[in-house]
Amino acid sequence: MERLPSLVEDIMSSPVITIDGEASIREGAQLMSDRRIGCLIVTIQGKPEGIVTERDILERVVAQNRDVNITKMREVMSTPLLTVHRKMEILEAMRIMRRHNIRRLGVMENHTLLGIVTERDIIRGVAIASLTSFKTLLRREELPEEGNQL
């Protein structure tokens, strides 16, 4: 039987798409569009330091009429990048997101960025685990009880 998702590593997206903090917002937006993703991890000297989401670009660049060709990713990133260990339980990652009012966490191990986990990933993982448990209960009810077999 396949193991139910219970750890962050079971549901995270990997590899993570990163961009250097010196890249322009235009470059970042193009990369997000090309990869069909909603955020980028921003690196400074190769180290993950922050995150830029579609919403960040809207609120911190477009709404403020900043030039997308001049504005750097590091200027609009959210810092610090909140991270969790890949072996953390999904529900604990969800608690961290709720506590900090965020939707994405970096996934780290030994100072290495392994992936990203989103609120949507967590909802999907919890739903799969719930549905699988529900199916198991239904199967048990369908089995004839001992002594009641025809």
> Given this model, what pLDDT does residue 66 score?
98
Give the pLDDT mean for 40-46. 96
Confidence at residue 131, expressed as pLDDT on a 0 to 100 scale: 74
Q: Where does the pLDDT of residue 5 fall: very low under 50, low under 70, confident under 90, or very high at 90 and above? A: confident
**Domains of the chain, CATH where assigned:** 8-142 (3.10.580.10)
pLDDT tens for 73-107 read: 999 999 999 999 999 999 899 999 999 999 999 99
Query: Quick one: CA torsion of 94, 100, 101, 105, rounded to 10 degrees?
Result: -50
Average pLDDT along the chain:
89
Exposed e or buried b for every residue in 72-110, given b needs 16+ CB within 10 A?
bbbebbbeebbbbebebebeebbeebeeeeebbbbbbee
Does residue 1 surpass a pLDDT of 90? Answer: no
Residue 136 has pLDDT above 90, yes or no: no
Buried/exposed code over 40-70 (b: 16+ C-beta within 10 A; e: otherwise): bbbbeeeebbbbbbeebbeebbeeeeeeeee
d(CA 12, CA 117): 5
- Say if residue 40's pLDDT is above 80: yes
